[in-house]
A and B are shown apart, each in its own frame.
Chain A
Amino acid sequence: MGDIAAWKSALLTLDDVPFFDLIRGYLGDIRTPFNKQRLVDELAGFLGRRENLQTLTAYLDATDRKLIAAISSLNEPTAAELTSFFDGELSFAELHGILLNLEERLIVYRFQDASARRLAVNPILSPALEPFEHDASILYPASAAQGETDLPRSRAALDDVALAAAAAFVERRADLFKADGSFRKKAAEEAASIFPADDFERAVRTLRGLGALRLAAAGVVVDGARLRSLAEASPFDRRAYCAAALCASELSPAHDLFGESGNDADEDEAAETGARRAGSPSFGRVPRERLSSWARLFVSFLDALDPALSYPPTTLARIMDTRERAAAAPRKRRWEARDADPAAGLRDGTDPSAFRRAAVDSLVAVGLLERADDGACRRTLLNPAAPVPVENAANPVIVLDAAFSVVAYPEIGFIDALSLGAFLDVREAGRAVRYELTRDSAVRGFDRGISVDNMLGLLESLARRPVAQNVRWSLKEWFERYSSVCVYHGTVLVVAPDRRYLMQASPIAELVRRELAPGVYLLSARDETEAAKALSKAGVDIVAIPSDGPSGAEATELRLPVFPAITRHRAENPLAASLAAVRAASPAGGAAGGAAEESGESKKAVDAKLAELRALLEAKRLPKDQRDELAARIDRRVVLSAGQLVGAAVRYEKLEAKGLDYVGKVRVAEQAIAAGALVELFWRGPKGEPVRALGSPLALDKSGGEVELIVDPAPRGEALRVPIGKISLLRRIKRSMFGE
């Protein structure tokens, strides 16, 4: 709530016309000579009267209370911030209209601080409004969550097991994508037979967003190093990153898959690898900064939720709004002067409601939120503070049989599931994932340098039982055959017999993948330059690098942590405490938004009061326009006492015109153009469908015998030309008396 001096100052700096209109509306005719300061004091006295406060409080409806609570809770927001907060719930025009009404009723005022015009609640009304200002349940209604209190760790479609299974599928189908980035039909059909519903597409979009897919000569391949890095994150953080990646891909589905994902990505790539790797451009990857900031935002959002409560979409959107602004605050200084919505940068310029919808959908998809049939969501009990689960040594997490089939249970760790996918083919993905060991899948594993012993070791450790003899035998047999005929690709080092002692030196020894023949070594170096550097470190001063040598390598060396742990600042999240109050107020199973609702009794009292005022007005002998305006004021709940029903106190203003009132519509349009005010207009489209537009009127243009209103629409688009005759309703959106 603002302070009284600020409120008085805001009124005193009003232009004369709105100032005197306001004063006359409440105090009646102004006697001259007048003193503005005294008039404001008188107005304060008028409002402070007990009976007026009571009437004003009784007049408050649910929307009024929501706005009052929001302005208090958001700590003197700008109109843009308030619009963002109610995005998807109240249109700009609706919100603007409500704010004008609250200003007219002296409940809300605007003031200018160093950077922007802000909204505040009138401090004079503090005794009456305080209960609403601090009631979080008005803004964040929630209900006690139904069903199990012991939520499982995951019921998600996109959990670790599904993500690893999708990676395994891509691993096998490097030809998955067409040049335009869509799936090849055959591969898509195969994926559809393995993965339920659209899980695969969602998982692939997540992998892309995470940067876990990249282009190689063979097609799109999985970046194993990046996924391993993701596996090192806690399950909670991992899901937050996945949600961020999925959300980004939801918001830009038309991303050019085979192109670059933006300059940011290039910079990231360079930062991570030290140099761009030839042949492995990013593939729909979300820039690191955005991925991290969104993951942090989601964690902060989840921290604000109480697992015992179920939140409707509007509440979730509002909570997300507060978290967006909190997350954007440290960067605010960069754009506060030019950016009306401080979180717009954080959202990468996406529409707030689209962003929040995609964010919630993504959090549901990864299992951090669970959605009920009515659309309300609750937070799952995946505990961010829990350490990475250590598998119970007694329980197997896979079952391997002699038919070469491996069933992985959902309890399997992400890194283990990824490791399985490196040498198994995924056959069926659901709650459990069924893999199959085939000759081709084993060869794929051998190609990645996984030995038979490693494969057997992993299978046995996860299954807690020995691998069947025929499977073991087949793996060894396949490796024998694999090793007997090889095509190598990479950097080869040839060392003369008298220099082979160099191979003992660690810089070189670390690079050796395999000794192909005496003195012939296959290196894991990315290219010959890296090999040369290692040789140089070992003291070799002349290194031959024939020009026709191979270049490039597949290994990814990430020098920066790709998916750093997400730090939490619970203490800095005041919303959590506020929402805890919601929980305390929430009756079991009932809605916790009751304070925002009007009771039947108070509504009756308000109706009685309004009826009384209307009767008084009816009894007065006034010109029609004054009577109409006063009646409208009663309806707008501006009139608190009978003393305000003074004809001379009002100035009639036509704000809207309908249907056949052609002249009225022209007049409203002309006034709006002159005042630079926005207009809202309604008409029927070519097929009779209702059309609504909001925008700045530019001109009235007579063309072909018909007058057309030209409007620059908001949000910006092609100018509209609508014949006045066709407009069914034209409304001038009044400007705020405080100058907006």
Chain B
Amino acid sequence: MANDPSNPLIIQSDRTLLLDVHAARSEEARSAILPFAELEKSPEHIHTYRITPLSLWNAASAGFTPGDVARVLQEYSRYDVPRGVVDGFADVMGRFGLVRMVEAPVNPAVPLSPDIPEELLLVCDVEAVAAEIAASKTLAKYLYPVSGGFGLRLTDRGTVKRELIRLGWPVKDEAPLLGGEYLDVPLRTAMLDGRDFAPRDYQTEAARSVVGDGGPGSGYGVIVLPCGAGKTVVGMVVMSLLKTNTLVLTTNVAAVHQWIDELIDKTGLTADQIAEYTGDSKSVAPVTVATYQILTWRPDKEAEFPHFRLFRARPWGLIIYDEVHLLPAPVFRVTAELQAVRRLGLTATLVREDGAEADVFSLVGPKRYDVPWKDLEAKGWIAEAVCAEIRVDLPENLKIPYAVTDQRNKYRVASENPLKRAIVRQLAENHPEDRILVIGQYVRQLEELAKDLGAPLITGKTPNGEREEIYGSFRRGEVRIIVVSKVANFAIDLPDASMAIQVSGSFGSRQEEAQRLGRILRPKKRNSYFYTVVSRYTVEEEFAANRQKFLAEQGYKYSIQHWTEEELNAAPAPRLLPERTI
């Protein structure tokens, strides 16, 4: 069959799919490929998806056959589908289900190992596969041969699955998940302030993609949604569907409080059904919200993690990992042991700078839902953000010191360029209607900016109570500008923030960029502005380029301006980015 040149999909030999979003059937094609391809990036014209073994196994677990995948590709492909692409599908997908994890027999004729109370059975239908697994040195630590396959401890369920994925043998996990203790979590139809509440379509869809039909292979996974798109609501919808005791893990105390406030605001849970487990308060209730920090605390490097007991403090039926990309290594380990519990990962960015995305997916679950940021923006679910970078020269007196200092210090000199202060002041003046977050890396610089702007400052040293107070006054509109360090990168909900100015950052971290942008993406009736101030002709430009690329790959338009020292010293004319009506 000849391919239609107006089709939206270009299929590359390395199984990358390029989706022309301007083509007639692009939305239809996107829906068709989502079950077996992962979104990698979504700039304005061509979105990139990738077919990976993991994505094919996920498709196989959802009942897709290699023929289904090939048909979809053929249907939407603009050019011939390269031969090698389709050839390997059957081989890869055929691996799924050859290894199954099942409950150990209740009354086996020959007991597996009577001294191990909780165990599962790994069944291999193909002798050669069983031999390969038996030969794995890594798996030898967890598996022991028994009649009909291999036995393993329940607590090794996640680790074994992860290792088997590395070996190329994805496990069909048919062992039952724990139900947890029953807890009704009804969603309200009106929030406490009387406004209507109902989850948005995509939030419900995302929640259902994880809960599934309750059968084997469902009940765990990762949801990727941009900041401001309401990931907390997705968590609440999942809770309402599963009706079970839930442990929520998040990044900091402020985020814990926000979760609790949201749960009270949008569900029928009462305050006594929700507990905070942090450094300040260590109570446990049917719904408990804790920080990663408290869980991974220990008195010394050799000691156990005492707060891991929280994982067994109640019969949890669901664990929610907020900002799952930040999951600390010790929590990885315990997550591997908690594979019998349903789990939900929430994140805005797949990227981990340590490259451990695959571990997140194998332990928490596969990515179940992802949507291009700009799609939500177009539908008005997140604010339309205008991204701009302002390049400013180093002042004359710093140019030579910058040239002669070592590479590491160069970044600091560039980041702390004093002319940035003038720019921040200018921007604050130019945007009198906006609620502004000034975000930076270096406390000294932030202190100077806070002084210049007469704004409160939040850093790592700011006590939680004081932070809450500042956030509260910002939310109430009593304070228009706050200056924050990287503590505000994650899980801080400041719905009215409409502008962010970042004056320095962590060497171009894409994750940081996404999170900072996320602070201003709550939908509102005006554009949001995201300014980055960068010293011209310095290493800061290189790192800025990484961040710029990341934002552009999410579909954001990005403009660059150059402000000179002379311009800043002269009486400045207002320089606004064009306002766009919504």
Question: Once the chains are docked, how many angstroms separate the CA of A403 from the CA of B546?
Answer: 9
B contacts, CB < 8 Å to A: 1-3, 10-14, 16, 18, 20, 41, 43-46, 79-80, 82, 84, 389, 391, 537, 545, 548-549, 552-553, 556-560, 562
* CB of B418 to closest CB in A, whole Å: 22
* CB of A18 to closest CB in B, whole Å: 57
Selected from A148, A197, A402, A434, the residue in CB contact (under 8 A) with B44 is A402
Nearest B-chain residue to A484, judged by Cβ:
B537
Question: Once the chains are docked, how many angstroms separate the CA of A474 from the CA of B3?
Answer: 38
Q: Does A183 make an interface contact (CB < 8 A)?
A: no
Which size class do A's interface residues fall under? 20 to 34
Q: Does A473 make an interface contact (CB < 8 A)?
A: yes
Instruction: Determine which residue in A402, A404, A434, A469 has the highest number of CB atoms from chain B within 10 A of its CB, and name it.
Output: A402
Task: Please indicate the chain B residues that have their CB under 8 angstroms from the CB of A439 in the complex.
Answer: 545
* CB of A728 to closest CB in B, whole Å: 41
Against B, the Cβ 8 Å flags (1 = close, 0 = not) of A138-162 are 0000000000101010010000000
Question: Once the chains are docked, how many angstroms separate the CA of A469 from the CA of B389?
Answer: 11
Selected from A150, A470, A473, the residue in CB contact (under 8 A) with B2 is A150
A interface secondary structure, majority? loop
Q: Are A428 and B16 in contact (CB under 8 A)?
A: yes
The 8 closest A-B pairs by CB, nearest first: A430-B12, A196-B13, A403-B552, A402-B552, A401-B43, A473-B560, A470-B558, A430-B13
Tell me whether A399 and B80 are in contact in the complex, defined as CB-CB below 8 angstroms, given that A404-B552, A431-B10 are known contacts: no
Tell me whether A401 and B559 are in contact in the complex, defined as CB-CB below 8 angstroms, given that A430-B16, A431-B11 are known contacts: no
Q: Are A468 and B16 in contact (CB under 8 A)?
A: no
5 contacts between A and B (CB under 8 A): A150-B2, A196-B13, A409-B10, A428-B16, A470-B560
Q: Are A431 and B552 in contact (CB under 8 A)?
A: no
Nearest B-chain residue to A438, judged by Cβ:
B545
Number of A-B contacts (CB under 8 A): 89
Q: Are B558 and A155 in contact (CB under 8 A)?
A: no
Instruction: Please give 11 more A-B residue pairs, beta carbons under 8 A apart, in addition to A405-B43, A428-B16.
Output: A196-B82, A399-B20, A401-B46, A402-B43, A402-B558, A405-B553, A407-B18, A428-B12, A430-B13, A430-B82, A470-B559
Q: Are B559 and A431 in contact (CB under 8 A)?
A: no
Which residues of chain A in 371-430 are interfacial with respect to chain B, using CB atoms and an 8 Å cutoff?
Answer: 399-405, 407, 409-410, 428, 430
Q: Does A450 make an interface contact (CB < 8 A)?
A: no
Q: Are A474 and B2 in contact (CB under 8 A)?
A: no
Nearest A-chain residue to B16, judged by Cβ:
A428
Selected from A401, A410, A428, A481, the residue in CB contact (under 8 A) with B552 is A401
Nearest B-chain residue to A410, judged by Cβ:
B79
* CB of A27 to closest CB in B, whole Å: 63
Question: Once the chains are docked, how many angstroms separate the CA of A469 from the CA of B552?
Answer: 12
Q: Does A432 make an interface contact (CB < 8 A)?
A: yes
Nearest B-chain residue to A193, judged by Cβ:
B14
Q: Are A470 and B548 in contact (CB under 8 A)?
A: yes
* CB of A382 to closest CB in B, whole Å: 15
* CB of B46 to closest CB in A, whole Å: 5
Q: Are B45 and A399 in contact (CB under 8 A)?
A: yes
Task: Please indicate the chain B residues that have their CB under 8 angstroms from the CB of A401 in the complex.
Answer: 43-46, 552
Task: Please indicate the chain B residues that have their CB under 8 angstroms from the CB of A405 in the complex.
Answer: 43, 46, 553
Nearest B-chain residue to A481, judged by Cβ:
B537
Task: Please indicate the chain A residues that have their CB under 8 angstroms from the CB of B1 in the complex.
Answer: 148
Q: Are A470 and B389 in contact (CB under 8 A)?
A: yes
Nearest A-chain residue to B13, judged by Cβ:
A196
Question: Once the chains are docked, how many angstroms separate the CA of A431 from the CA of B73?
Answer: 14
Nearest A-chain residue to B559, judged by Cβ:
A469
* CB of B541 to closest CB in A, whole Å: 9
Task: Please indicate the chain A residues that have their CB under 8 angstroms from the CB of B13 in the complex.
Answer: 196-197, 430-431
Q: Are A432 and B18 in contact (CB under 8 A)?
A: yes
Nearest B-chain residue to A155, judged by Cβ:
B80
Nearest A-chain residue to B83, judged by Cβ:
A155
Task: Please indicate the chain A residues that have their CB under 8 angstroms from the CB of B43 in the complex.
Answer: 401-403, 405
Task: Please indicate the chain A residues that have their CB under 8 angstroms from the CB of B44 in the complex.
Answer: 401-402
Task: Please indicate the chain B residues that have their CB under 8 angstroms from the CB of A407 in the complex.
Answer: 10, 18, 46
Question: Once the chains are docked, how many angstroms separate the CA of A432 from the CA of B558?
Answer: 25
Q: Are B46 and A399 in contact (CB under 8 A)?
A: yes
Selected from B389, B391, B549, the residue in CB contact (under 8 A) with A403 is B549
Question: Once the chains are docked, how many angstroms separate the CA of A469 from the CA of B11?
Answer: 29
Instruction: Determine which residue in B11, B12, B557 has the highest number of CB atoms from chain A within 10 A of its CB, and name it.
Output: B12
Nearest B-chain residue to A439, judged by Cβ:
B545
* CB of B473 to closest CB in A, whole Å: 36
Task: Please indicate the chain B residues that have their CB under 8 angstroms from the CB of A155 in the complex.
Answer: 80
Nearest A-chain residue to B12, judged by Cβ:
A430
Task: Please indicate the chain A residues that have their CB under 8 angstroms from the CB of B553 in the complex.
Answer: 403, 405
Task: Please indicate the chain B residues that have their CB under 8 angstroms from the CB of A400 in the complex.
Answer: 45
Nearest A-chain residue to B22, judged by Cβ:
A399
* CB of B75 to closest CB in A, whole Å: 16
Q: Are B14 and A196 in contact (CB under 8 A)?
A: yes
Task: Please indicate the chain A residues that have their CB under 8 angstroms from the CB of B10 in the complex.
Answer: 407, 409, 430-432
Q: Are B46 and A196 in contact (CB under 8 A)?
A: no
* CB of A501 to closest CB in B, whole Å: 39
Tell me whether A402 and B557 are in contact in the complex, defined as CB-CB below 8 angstroms, given that A197-B13, A430-B14 are known contacts: yes
Question: Once the chains are docked, how many angstroms separate the CA of A708 from the CA of B285?
Answer: 98
Question: Once the chains are docked, how many angstroms separate the CA of A152 from the CA of B41?
Answer: 30
Question: Once the chains are docked, how many angstroms separate the CA of A470 from the CA of B560?
Answer: 5
Question: Once the chains are docked, how many angstroms separate the CA of A468 from the CA of B556?
Answer: 11
Q: Are B46 and A468 in contact (CB under 8 A)?
A: no
Task: Please indicate the chain B residues that have their CB under 8 angstroms from the CB of A428 in the complex.
Answer: 12, 14, 16
